[in-house]
Amino acid sequence: MVKNVVITGVGLVTPLGRSPREVLGRVGRGEVATSIPSFDVASFACPFCAPVVSFDAEECFCENKNLRLMSRDAQMAVVAAHIAMEDAYVKADETYASEEIALYGSTGVSSLSVEEIARIIEYAAGSDGSLDLKRFGQVGLKRVRPVLSFRILANMPICFVSIFENIRGQNAVYAPWEGQGAQAIAAGIRAIRRGDVPCALVGSCDVKTSELSFINLQQLGVFESWELHGKGCIPGEGAAFLVLEDAEHANKRGKRAYAKITDYAICSTAGDSSLKDTFSSTISKLKTNSIEAVVAAGDGDMTISESEQQAFEEVGLEPCELLRPKLHLGNLFAAAAAVQVGLAAELAGRGESGRPVLADCFGYGSEQASFALEGICAK
Partner 1 sequence: MRKVVITGVGVVSPVGSGVEMFWSNLTSGRSGIGPITLFDASAFPIRIAGEVKDFELESITEQFPNSNGCRDRKVFLALAAAQEAVTDAKLSDGDLHRALLHMGVGLEAIRLEDLTPYADSSDFGHSIVSSLIDDQTDRMLQTPLDCASNILGRRYGLLAGRYTNCSACAAGAQVVGEAWQMLREGLAQVALAGATDSMLNPLGLGGFSLLRVLSDENENPQQACRPFDASRKGTVLGEGAAFVVLETLENALARNACIYAELIGYGSSMDAYRVSDPDNTGRGAIQSMNNALWAAGLKADDIDCVNAHGTGTLKNDVVETAAIKESLGRHAYDIPVHAVKSMTGHMIAASGALEAVVAALTIRHEVVPPTINLETADDECDLDYVADGSREFVGETVLSNSFGFGGQNATLILRRYA
Q: According to CB under 8 A, which residues from 16 to 35 bind partner 1?
A: none
Among 47, 220, 290, 321, binds partner 1 (CB under 8 A): 220
Among 9, 367, 370, 371, binds partner 1 (CB under 8 A): 367
Nearer to partner 1, 34 or 110 (CB): 110
Question: Minimum CB separation from partner 1 for residue 152, in Å?
Answer: 6
Residue 2 found at the interface with partner 1 (CB under 8 A): no
Nearer to partner 1, 119 or 350 (CB): 119
Among 1, 29, 53, 219, binds partner 1 (CB under 8 A): 219
Binding-residue pattern over the window 88 to 117 for partner 1, x denoting contact by CB under 8 A: ----------xx---x---x-xx---x--x
Among 180, 280, 288, 331, binds partner 1 (CB under 8 A): 180
Alpha carbon distance 183, 361 (integer Å):
10
Question: Minimum CB separation from partner 1 for residue 25, in Å?
Answer: 35
β-pairing, 357-361 vs 367-375, is: antiparallel
Of 73, 3, 24, 7, give the one whose Cα is nearest residue 242. Answer: 7
Binding-residue pattern over the window 44 to 63 for partner 1, x denoting contact by CB under 8 A: x-------------------
Binding-residue pattern over the window 249 to 288 for partner 1, x denoting contact by CB under 8 A: -----------------xxx-xx-----------------
Q: Binding residues for partner 1, how many (CB under 8 A)?
A: 82
Compute the C-alpha angle 331/22/334, nearest 5°.
25
Question: Minimum CB separation from partner 1 for residue 322, in Å?
Answer: 27
The residues in 135-174 that bind partner 1, with binding defined as CB under 8 A, are: 135-138, 140-141, 144, 146, 148-150, 152-156, 158-160, 162-163, 165-174
Distance set, CA 289 to CA 18, 61, 230, 286, 317 (Å): 32, 45, 36, 9, 8
Alpha carbon distance 218, 211 (integer Å):
11
